[in-house]
């Protein structure tokens, strides 16, 4: 039985796909996004987050090793909620595809129970990994963080060549996709690049079921402190209404319907 | 501007501006005290000395109905008033008077549920008070209450609740019968019965009283005719003039025979409600399954073209709004248990018909729209649902919940009906259940008074006594000892010993509470004799006796138990930390609790206690304990008999309920720190909900935990209150998800679920600027209230409920 490393399971998750979902957060990521709001999931391994509450030191352990069986059993507890709302389970992180074997086994078990699964990925893995997982996934939530390679490198530390090619191939194979476009002021909000991202999304065709625009939020700030890390971004960053409006009109011109998440 | 949820008017037969005016008047109304009823009852009682009490009450009721102020609220299509002014509370001196006199000068200065009172009214009350002093229901209860009950009250384990000094309420008339027959026919039936020669004295007095109250009720209705005509004469507005003339004609014949139209039927059920609340100061006089018994009138009028859907919505909304014009004043001590001027006038829609098919209809949806326009705390709006409930209706209900008004509260047909059926009530009747209070359920037209809340038992306090060998260290009273020794010293060497101590004390105090119930019940049989309410419920007319004397078909009562989750979490903490893991000693835990977790040591121990699994997170080990706690009480019930056993009802039983209104707040004040890490004096948990802030695994986990409880045996109502942030329900997609959540909860076997949808920021701001938030209605417990009318402690408890931001 394969074991995986997860942090938490979010029940009644409403932002990670259709219906009522449970989102499992897996630990470990091969991107280093400057704005990451889940640094505890980005860094490898188990860890402790230390913080002060009214002058008393508290410590919160992050990371649980769990078998695919146990995890599937845990997630299946909400089966009736998934059924009644058209929901299911979303594997997120971190980068869940880095624990592909574990995710595949868990989602396989869930599928056997009639529970639909989705993978929330940044896609920076060999295509074969995603292809292998796709047999168990009804949906991919796929992040495209920048179109221009140098912007992508600057923001995430890695090239996006493989990422873009992966999402293209997933689309060609007819996998259902929700594309997520995170927008961070001063990092990846260059107007031309935004437009190129949208154009690229359009080129993916029918497989794209939905496009979500996620304006940057600073909810992760506290976690950096707790991990003893320096928060890399200015704390008052905020996507302007004008910028969102601009994205909206560019999308409209291209005939793409977008959903803008409220922060 | 008022908005419909989905309704699209096709004509201008509904006047939204007028509804808005009515709404605003209700929202800004001021609670006050009215002395009219007290004066007329006194006048009448002074002339009936020596007569049987039920006749004295009937005559006083009649005297009041013929002389009290009657008025028609401006703009309203519905008439009928309980007191001389909008939102004035009458005084009921035959139930209790001493506290009224004592609090006369304090009504205006309460921290919540304030009442205005004029010097004239104070004078009226002071004048009549000596006549009643020593001769009220309360005095009778006090005379007969055994010493141990008083001791348990001093220990703060038992709280006698409203019924020790007010009427009982909690009934639903047989609306379909009274709409079909009218008061006149029932009065004639009583007269016919009086000709029989096999009557007992009780029967004769009952039938005579029925005639007196129904004739008076008919006269009362006719008085509105003159008022309406008078107003019509002085009204320039053509439309209003016509309406008033119609109302005048309606009042001339209403209830002389069957109801003739939807409007008349609506007016009738409203008047019955008002009349019940003039007869008795019980609360939870409920409307029952409004969309079921009203549907034939609605359908007929729509099909024959005398009514449009728009007009029906207007009439219904006016009726709903008029429910905010009634009031009840309670002693301040009781007010803490039930804040926000609640009347708990439940009105229910949806659910199975007696034949098991889903009975929801066009009127069900119209009621949801009406409640949306009403946007007040009354009527207490509830909905039954099941697997066959139409998706559209459920979505509409979800939309109303999303507005944040806390309504409808949702009852699961399968679980609630099974609970009732398992009491020995026939399947068809069980399927016809409705709410008869906040979350209490019963069979409309067949249940006698009171599904729940006879006596309140503070389980948090019992837990404290278990840890202190039965000694209440605050009052110094010890009524029972766990180990046979006097004093608070006790050691438990195993969880089993601790559990047995709980069972021992639970039985001791539950037995006492049943005695306490019986004392109140016996007194109520006299002082709350209610021929008007009784003659509208099976089988009082047949048996010739009031509900309290055994006239009802089903006699199911229950107490209210407060704090099962706090108790379960505490037992789990002790079990784990002391017995299983031996991380702390008894002495350490007790010291930490005694200091209310002060100091470094106290805080460290509290952290250990807080980290132990808590109910509401789908963790079997602690959920199982909470389940066993429920079962430990359920086991006791077959032993308990009601006062009416063998005196008429087909079923006489005790059952269980966790409907505890706001009592979880004041009950918490009486309980020190508990082993679950709870701070001294903070609220206990509400109903069967997880303790505030301890459900950290999301709403689906709460449902999974609660689903493990024996919900279908808590046949008088199992209260679950949850809170969602407005954002979680925003937009169509989230609404669909929420509807899915409701359907799933139903399938999982929840009894009931109700929701608050307001974020903490808004609630805190409302505490600071109450004047800006008179329209903010929140779920308090099994009912809703204007947030700003609540006491600060209760407002805090509502804010502390875990907010599901998803």
Residue A259 at interface with chain B, using a CB cutoff of 8 Å: no
Cβ pair B240, B256 in contact under 8 A: no
Q: What is the predicted pLDDT for the residue at B197? A: 95
Listed by number, the residues of chain B in 718-747 with a beta carbon closer than 8 Å to a beta carbon of chain A are: 727-728, 733-734, 736-737, 739-741, 743-744, 747
A17 vs chain B: nearest CA distance in angstroms?
Answer: 11
Which segments of chain A have a pLDDT < 70?
Answer: 53-56, 263
| Number of other CB atoms surrounding residue A258 within 10 Å | 19
Token pair belonging to B363: 């009127």
Q: Which structural domain range is residue B647 located in?
A: 456-717+756-804
Reduced to 3 states, what is the DSSP secondary structure of residue A162? helix
Domain closes at, from B280, B303, B321: B280
Q: What is the predicted pLDDT for the residue at B799? A: 83
Cβ pair B442, B285 in contact under 8 A: no
pLDDT (mean) for B572-576:
98
Q: What residues of B are in contact with residue A87 (Cβ under 8 Å)?
A: 737, 740
- E-strand ranges in B69-149 read 88-90
**What whole-number percentage of chain B has pLDDT above 90?**
86
Q: Higher model confidence: residue B801 or residue B763?
A: B763
* B475: pLDDT strictly greater than 60: yes
Which chain B residue lies closest to A8 (C-alpha atoms)?
B697
State pLDDT tens for residues B182-197: 999 999 999 999 999 9
pLDDT (mean) for B566-585:
97
Band of pLDDT at residue B725, cut at 50, 70 and 90: confident
Cis peptide before B379 (omega within 30 of 0): yes
Domain closes at, from B230, B264, B280: B280
Inspect the interface and report whether the beta carbons of B740 and A81 lie closer than 8 Å: yes
Residue B679 at interface with chain A, using a CB cutoff of 8 Å: no
Q: What residues of A are in contact with residue B744 (Cβ under 8 Å)?
A: 20, 80-81, 83-85
Q: Show Cβ contacts of residue B664 under 8 Å, excluding neighbours closer than 6 positions.
A: B562, B563, B683, B684, B685, B686, B687, B781, B797
Token pair belonging to B588: 């350490």
Helices B309-322 and B295-303 sit at what angle, rounded to 10 degrees? Answer: 150
Q: Higher model confidence: residue B402 or residue B161?
A: B402
* B142: pLDDT strictly greater than 60: yes
When scoring B620, B679, B727, B737 by the number of chain A Cβ atoms within 10 A, the one with the most, hence best to mutate, is B737
Residue B598 at interface with chain A, using a CB cutoff of 8 Å: no
Across A1-10, A172-181, B699-708, B793-802, least confident range = B793-802
Inspect the interface and report whether the beta carbons of A80 and B734 lie closer than 8 Å: no
Q: Domain A3-260: give its CATH architecture.
A: Alpha-Beta Barrel (3.20)
Which chain A residue lies closest to B703 (C-alpha atoms)?
A78
State pLDDT tens for residues B613-630: 999 999 999 999 999 999
Cβ pair B283, B328 in contact under 8 A: yes
Q: What is the predicted pLDDT for the residue at B451? A: 65
Q: Show Cβ contacts of residue B78 under 8 Å, excluding neighbours closer than 6 positions.
A: B266, B267, B270, B315, B318, B319, B322
Q: What residues of B are in contact with residue A78 (Cβ under 8 Å)?
A: 700, 704
Which chain B residue lies closest to A9 (C-alpha atoms)?
B697
Q: What is the predicted pLDDT for the residue at A263? A: 52
Structural domain contains residue B547 = yes
Which chain B residue lies closest to A84 (C-alpha atoms)?
B740
Residue B595 at interface with chain A, using a CB cutoff of 8 Å: no
Cα-Cα-Cα-Cα torsion B594, B596, B599, B601, nearest 10 degrees, comes to 60
For residues B784-800, one letter each, b for 16 or more C-beta atoms within 10 angstroms of the residue's C-beta and e for the rest, the string is: bbbbbbbbebbbbbbbe
B282: nearest Cα among B364, B162, B408: B162
- Measured in residues, chain A has a length of 263
* B779: pLDDT strictly greater than 80: no
| Structural domain total, chain B | 2
Q: What residues of A are in contact with residue B750 (Cβ under 8 Å)?
A: none
User: Which of B618, B740, B747 lies closest to A20 in CB terms?
Assistant: B740
Average pLDDT, chain B: 95
Structural domain contains residue B395 = no
Band of pLDDT at residue B805, cut at 50, 70 and 90: low
- CA–CA separation, B56 vs A5, rounded Å? 77
> Looking at residue B699, which CATH number applies to its domain?
3.20.70.20
- CA–CA separation, B240 vs B224, rounded Å? 16
Structural domain contains residue B410 = no
Note the maximum CA span of chain A: 56
Cis peptide before B196 (omega within 30 of 0): no
When scoring A51, A80, A86 by the number of chain B Cβ atoms within 10 A, the one with the most, hence best to mutate, is A80
* B337: pLDDT strictly greater than 80: no
State pLDDT tens for residues B249-281: 999 999 999 999 999 999 999 999 999 999 999
Q: What residues of A are in contact with residue B740 (Cβ under 8 Å)?
A: 19-20, 81, 84-87
State the sign of the Cα–Cα–Cα–Cα dihedral B389, B394, B396, B400: positive
* B425: pLDDT strictly greater than 70: yes
Residue A75 at interface with chain B, using a CB cutoff of 8 Å: no
Band of pLDDT at residue B781, cut at 50, 70 and 90: low
Q: What angle do CA B55, B56, B57 make, to 5 degrees?
A: 90
**R_g over Cα of chain B:** 26
Q: Show Cβ contacts of residue A194 under 8 Å, excluding neighbours closer than 6 positions.
A: A181, A183, A188, A246, A247, A250
Domain closes at, from B264, B280, B296: B280
Inspect the interface and report whether the beta carbons of B699 and A11 lie closer than 8 Å: yes
- E-strand ranges in chain A read 3-13, 21-26, 47-53, 56-62, 64-67, 88-93, 117-121, 139-143, 177-183, 208-215, 258-260
User: Which of A11, A83, A85 lies closest to B698 in CB terms?
Assistant: A11
Helices B792-800 and B760-768 sit at what angle, rounded to 10 degrees? Answer: 170
Inspect the interface and report whether the beta carbons of B743 and A87 lie closer than 8 Å: no
* B710: pLDDT strictly greater than 60: yes
User: Which of A10, A56, A84 lies closest to B747 in CB terms?
Assistant: A84
DSSP category for residue B325: G
Assembly ipTM? 0.92
Inspect the interface and report whether the beta carbons of B747 and A80 lie closer than 8 Å: yes
Q: What residues of B are in contact with residue A12 (Cβ under 8 Å)?
A: 698-700, 741, 804, 806
Cβ pair B663, B784 in contact under 8 A: no
Residue A12 at interface with chain B, using a CB cutoff of 8 Å: yes
Q: What is the predicted pLDDT for the residue at B515? A: 95
B695 vs chain A: nearest CA distance in angstroms?
Answer: 12
- CA–CA separation, B686 vs B566, rounded Å? 10
Residue B507 at interface with chain A, using a CB cutoff of 8 Å: no
pLDDT (mean) for B287-315:
98
Reduced to 3 states, what is the DSSP secondary structure of residue A29? coil
Residue B603 at interface with chain A, using a CB cutoff of 8 Å: yes
Which chain B residue lies closest to A261 (C-alpha atoms)?
B727
User: Which of B703, B736, B804 lies closest to A85 in CB terms?
Assistant: B736
Q: What is the predicted pLDDT for the residue at A53? A: 62
**What whole-number percentage of chain B has pLDDT above 70?**
99
For residues B323-362, one letter each, b for 16 or more C-beta atoms within 10 angstroms of the residue's C-beta and e for the rest, the string is: bbbbbbbbbbebbbbbbbbbbbbbbbbbbbeeeeebbbbe
Q: What is the predicted pLDDT for the residue at B782? A: 67
Q: Which long-range contacts (CB under 8 A, 24 or more apart) does A233-241 make?
A: A233/A34, A233/A35, A233/A184, A237/A184, A237/A185, A237/A186, A238/A185, A239/A183, A239/A184, A239/A185, A239/A189, A239/A215, A239/A263, A240/A185
Q: What is the predicted pLDDT for the residue at B794? A: 80
Inspect the interface and report whether the beta carbons of A80 and B804 lie closer than 8 Å: no
When scoring A9, A10, A17, A20 by the number of chain B Cβ atoms within 10 A, the one with the most, hence best to mutate, is A20
Q: What is the predicted pLDDT for the residue at B228? A: 98
Q: What is the predicted pLDDT for the residue at B797? A: 81
- CA–CA separation, B326 vs B285, rounded Å? 12
* B587: pLDDT strictly greater than 90: yes
């Amino acid at each position: 039985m394969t074991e995986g490393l997860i942090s938490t399971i979010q029940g009644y998750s409403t932002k990670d796909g259709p219906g009522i979902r449970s989102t499992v957060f897996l630990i470990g990521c091969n991107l280093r996004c400057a704005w990451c709001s889940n640094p505890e999931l980005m860094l490898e391994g188990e860890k402790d987050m230390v913080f002060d509450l009214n002058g008393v030191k508290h410590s919160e352990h992050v990371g649980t090793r769990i078998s695919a069986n146990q995890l599937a059993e845990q997630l299946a507890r909400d089966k009736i909620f998934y059924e009644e709302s058209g929901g299911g389970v979303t594997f997120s992180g971190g980068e869940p595809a880095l624990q592909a074997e574990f995710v595949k086994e868990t989602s396989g078990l869930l599928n056997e129970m009639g529970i639909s699964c989705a993978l929330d990925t940044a896609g920076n893995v060999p295509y074969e990994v995603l292809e292998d997982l796709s047999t168990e996934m009804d949906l991919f939530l796929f992040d495209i963080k920048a179109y221009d390679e140098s912007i992508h490198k600057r923001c995430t530390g890695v090239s996006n060549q493989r990422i873009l090619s992966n999402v293209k191939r997933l689309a060609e194979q007819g996998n259902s996709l929700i594309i997520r476009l995170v927008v961070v002021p001063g990092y990846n909000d260059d107007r031309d690049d935004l437009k190129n991202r949208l154009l690229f999304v359009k080129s993916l065709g029918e497989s794209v079921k939905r496009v979500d625009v996620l304006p940057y939020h600073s909810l992760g700030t506290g976690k950096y402190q707790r991990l003893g890390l320096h928060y890399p971004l200015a704390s008052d960053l905020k996507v302007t209404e004008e910028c969102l409006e601009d994205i909206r009109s560019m999308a409209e011109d291209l005939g793409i319907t977008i959903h803008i998440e409220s922060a | 501007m008022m908005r419909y949820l989905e309704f699209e008017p096709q004509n201008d037969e509904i006047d939204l501006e007028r509804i808005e005016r009515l709404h605003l008047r209700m929202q800004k109304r001021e609670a006050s005290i009215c002395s009219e009823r007290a004066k007329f009852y006194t006048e009448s009682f002074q002339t009936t000395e020596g007569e049987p009490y039920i006749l004295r009450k009937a005559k006083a009721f009649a005297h009041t109905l013929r002389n009290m102020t009657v008025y028609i609220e401006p703009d309203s299509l519905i008439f009928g008033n309980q007191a001389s002014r909008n939102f004035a509370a009458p005084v009921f001196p035959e139930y209790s008077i001493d506290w009224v006199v004592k609090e006369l000068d304090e009504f205006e200065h309460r921290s919540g549920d304030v009442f205005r009172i004029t010097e004239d009214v104070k004078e009226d009350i002071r004048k009549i008070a000596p006549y009643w002093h020593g001769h009220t229901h309360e005095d009778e209860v006090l005379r007969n209450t055994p010493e141990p009950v008083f001791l348990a009250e001093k220990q703060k384990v038992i709280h006698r609740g409203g019924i020790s000094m007010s009427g009982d309420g909690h009934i639903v008339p047989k609306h379909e019968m009274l709409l079909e027959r009218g008061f006149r026919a029932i009065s004639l039936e009583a007269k016919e019965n009086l000709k029989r020669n096999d009557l007992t004295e009780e029967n004769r007095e009952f039938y005579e009283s029925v005639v007196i109250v129904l004739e008076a009720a008919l006269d009362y209705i006719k008085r509105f005719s003159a008022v309406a005509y008078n107003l019509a004469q002085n009204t320039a507005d053509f439309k209003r003039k016509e309406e008033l003339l119609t109302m005048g004609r309606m009042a001339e014949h209403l209830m002389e025979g069957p109801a003739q139209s939807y409007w008349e039927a609506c007016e009738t059920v409203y008047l019955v409600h008002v009349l019940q609340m003039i007869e008795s100061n019980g609360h939870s006089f409920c409307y029952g399954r409004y969309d079921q018994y009203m549907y034939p009138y609605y359908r007929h009028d729509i099909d024959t073209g005398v009514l449009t859907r728009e007009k029906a919505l207007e009439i219904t909304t006016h009726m709903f709004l008029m429910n905010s014009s009634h009031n009840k004043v309670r002693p301040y001590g009781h007010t803490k248990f039930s804040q926000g001027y609640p009347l708990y006038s439940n009105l229910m829609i949806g659910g199975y018909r007696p034949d098991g098919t889903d009975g929801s209809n066009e009127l069900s949806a119209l009621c949801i729209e009406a409640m949306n326009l009403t946007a007040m705390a009354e009527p207490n709006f509830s909905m039954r649902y099941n697997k066959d409930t139409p998706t559209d209706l459920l979505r509409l209900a979800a939309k109303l919940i999303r507005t944040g008004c806390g309504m409808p509260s949702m009852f699961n047909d399968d679980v609630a009906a099974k609970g009732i059926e398992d009491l020995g009530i026939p399947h068809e009747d069980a399927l016809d259940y409705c709410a008869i209070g906040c979350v209490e359920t019963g069979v409309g037209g067949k249940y006698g008074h009171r599904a729940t809340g006879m006596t309140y038992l503070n389980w948090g306090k019992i837990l404290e006594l278990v840890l202190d060998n039965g000694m209440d260290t605050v009052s110094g009273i010890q009524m029972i000892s766990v180990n046979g020794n006097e004093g608070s010293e006790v050691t438990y060497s195993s969880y089993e010993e601790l559990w047995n101590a709980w069972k021992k004390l639970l039985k001791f105090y539950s037995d006492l509470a049943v005695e306490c119930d019986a004392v109140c019940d016996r007194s109520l049989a006299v002082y709350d004799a209610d021929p008007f309410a009784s003659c509208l419920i099976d089988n009082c007319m047949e048996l010739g006796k009031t509900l309290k004397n055994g006239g009802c078909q089903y006699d199911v009562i229950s107490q209210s138990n407060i704090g099962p989750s706090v108790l379960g979490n505490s037992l789990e903490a002790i079990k784990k930390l002391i017995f299983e893991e031996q991380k702390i000693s008894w002495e350490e835990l007790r010291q930490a609790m005694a200091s209310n977790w002060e100091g470094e040591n106290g805080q460290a121990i509290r952290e250990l206690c807080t980290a132990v699994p808590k109910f509401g997170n789908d963790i079997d080990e602690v959920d199982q304990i909470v389940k066993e706690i429920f079962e430990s009480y359920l086991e006791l019930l077959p032993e308990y008999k009601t006062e009416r056993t063998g005196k008429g009802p087909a079923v006489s039983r005790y059952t269980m309920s966790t409907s505890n209104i706001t009592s979880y707040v004041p009950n918490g004040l009486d309980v020190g720190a508990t082993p679950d890490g709870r701070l001294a004096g903070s609220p206990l948990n509400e109903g069967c909900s997880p303790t505030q802030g301890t459900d950290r695994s999301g709403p689906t986990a709460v449902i999974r935990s609660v689903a493990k409880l024996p919900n279908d045996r808590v046949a008088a109502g199992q209260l679950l209150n949850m809170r969602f942030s407005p954002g979680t329900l925003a937009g169509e997609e989230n609404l669909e998800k929420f509807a899915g959540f409701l359907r799933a909860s139903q399938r999982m076997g929840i009894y009931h679920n109700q929701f608050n949808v307001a974020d903490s920021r808004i609630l805190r701001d409302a505490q600071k600027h109450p004047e800006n938030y008179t329209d903010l209605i929140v779920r308090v417990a099994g009912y809703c209230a204007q947030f700003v009318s609540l006491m600060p402690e209760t407002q805090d408890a509502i804010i502390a409920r875990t907010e599901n931001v998803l």
